């Protein structure tokens, strides 16, 4: 029996909006369950990008001619759309970046310049490599020390241990909002409040949160928030870094070049105001417009409805998959988003994933750029089925049938 959200959610109309979902893989109708890596794109987003290149293609901000002004208007309207999507108080606090990875590196390279020997930076054991390596590099440069929040056996953060890590030497905390490998939704409001009590600044990696429901940076209380567009139905190579105005204004530029300057001379250079101070060179105009179109599309579906529908889909998938003998779910936190990571006893994730592919089911296998997390659980990796609002219970049934068949073949 279908639950309430599944009954009312316009899933057939939604699926018709995504051209690639109508295709086949290995001679089978495609079941796409790798949205945590990169989501599919609706026709609306594809059309917005094509429309820009066909009708508005010109460089922004510096042209006095009408075409450039039209492109500039569309580009800055996209910034305003993305500010509204995360409830940022000011669109000038929204910086265009290539994705979440660049957003984190920007902060580590600019705000991180103030860190010194003995300062402590906290990350968690469930972080994506993109939220580990930039801080390790910063610690090597500055003499700061990296501290790690442990993960409990069910995939939740150990918040007791987090509280014990915080002290007067803590200057920065950077944690993921939703785990890409486990689906765990972290208590980011509590994480921010506790960090602020010791005077630390907080960055939230929102790459896996923005595709699955409402994000409100003001309600979260973080100081920085970053995410990638390609995981929320937008184009690749485009993302957002949001930061509080007073922090952004205090930070040095990230790259040097055009657009980020006020005045250049060989005697010295002064820099532009935010956000342009951090946007050197010709920006990805089409990407920004495409991402704004994706935000408009998702908002039109009602983000609360998306979250409820996906929660019911994940619950159904978890219930059905755990009926398979020998299958173990990795990450069983009570608060999760749209990720089902699993192993089958005695079988390598890659072998399972390959056999699922032959049956038209696209999943991700491996460590999911979370090698320390896999080491924490003592496993080489997992098979990860990640869902989006365009998936169906029929997709889940295909996953269950394909996994059951693969297990029989490998037994």
Distance of CA 165 to the CA centre of its chain: 26
In the numeric block, the tokens 């469930």 are attached to 126
Phi/psi for 144 (5° steps) reads -70, 165
Element (H or E) spanning 189, and its range? helix 188-197
Sign of CA dihedral 254, 257, 258, 263: positive
Alpha-carbon distance of 118 to 121, in angstroms, equals: 10
Inter-residue contact 77 to 285 (CB < 8 Å): no
Give which of 128, 204, 133, 122 is closest to 161, Cα–Cα. Answer: 122
| Residue 84: exposure state from Cβ atoms within 10 A (0-12, 13-18, ≥19) | middle
Catalytic entry in 192, 222, 233, 369: 369
Cα-trace Rg, the chain: 22
Which 8-state DSSP code applies to residue 52?
A: I
Alpha-carbon distance of 338 to 126, in angstroms, equals: 16
Inter-residue contact 321 to 340 (CB < 8 Å): yes
Alpha-carbon distance of 333 to 270, in angstroms, equals: 49
CA distance to 215, 302, 377, per residue, from 299 (Å): 12, 5, 37
Active site residue 139: no
CA distance to 66, 236, 263, 359, 391, per residue, from 58 (Å): 10, 20, 23, 45, 37
Alpha-carbon distance of 256 to 332, in angstroms, equals: 45
CA atoms within 13 A on the CB side of 262: 10
Alpha-carbon distance of 37 to 24, in angstroms, equals: 19
Residues with catalytic function: 369
């Amino acid at each position: 029996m279908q639950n309430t959200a599944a009954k009312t959610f316009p899933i057939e109309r939604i699926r018709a909006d995504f051209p690639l979902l109508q295709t086949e893989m290995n001679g089978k109708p495609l079941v796409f369950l790798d949205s945590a890596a990169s989501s599919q794109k609706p026709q609306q987003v594809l059309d917005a990008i094509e429309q820009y290149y066909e009708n508005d293609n010109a460089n922004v901000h510096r042209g006095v001619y009408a075409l450039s002004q039209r492109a500039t208007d569309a580009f800055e309207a996209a910034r305003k759309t993305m500010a509204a999507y995360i409830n940022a108080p000011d669109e000038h606090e929204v910086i265009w970046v290539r994705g979440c990875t660049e957003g984190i590196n920007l902060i580590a390279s600019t705000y991180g310049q103030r860190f010194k020997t003995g300062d402590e930076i906290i990350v968690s054991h469930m972080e994506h490599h993109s939220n580990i390596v930039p801080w390790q590099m910063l610690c090597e440069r500055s003499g700061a020390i990296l501290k790690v929040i442990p993960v409990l056996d069910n995939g939740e953060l150990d918040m007791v241990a987090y509280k014990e890590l915080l002290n007067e030497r803590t200057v920065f905390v950077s944690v993921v909002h939703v785990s890409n490998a486990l689906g765990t939704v972290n208590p980011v409001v509590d994480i921010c409040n506790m960090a602020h009590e010791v005077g630390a600044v907080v960055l939230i990696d929102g790459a896996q949160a923005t595709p699955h429901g409402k994000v409100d940076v003001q309600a979260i209380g973080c100081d920085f928030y970053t995410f990638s567009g390609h995981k929320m139905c937008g184009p690749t190579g485009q993302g957002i870094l949001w930061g509080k105005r007073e922090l952004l204004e205090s930070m040095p530029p990230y790259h040097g070049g055009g657009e980020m300057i006020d005045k250049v001379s060989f005697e010295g250079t002064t820099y532009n105001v935010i956000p342009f101070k951090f946007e050197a060179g010709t920006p990805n105009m089409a990407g920004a417009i495409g991402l704004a179109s994706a935000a408009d599309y998702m908002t039109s579906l009602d983000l609360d409805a998306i979250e409820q529908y996906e929660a019911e889909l994940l619950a159904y998938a978890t219930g059905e998959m755990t009926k398979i003998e020998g299958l173990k779910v990795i990450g069983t936190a009570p608060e999760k988003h749209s990720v089902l990571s699993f192993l089958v006893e005695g079988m390598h994730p890659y072998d399972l994933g390959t056999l699922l592919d032959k049956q038209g089911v696209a999943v991700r296998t491996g460590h999911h750029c979370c090698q320390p997390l896999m080491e924490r659980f003592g496993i080489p990796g997992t098979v990860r089925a990640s869902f989006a609002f365009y998936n169906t219970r029929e997709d889940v049934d295909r996953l269950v049938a394909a996994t059951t068949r693969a297990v029989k073949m490998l037994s």
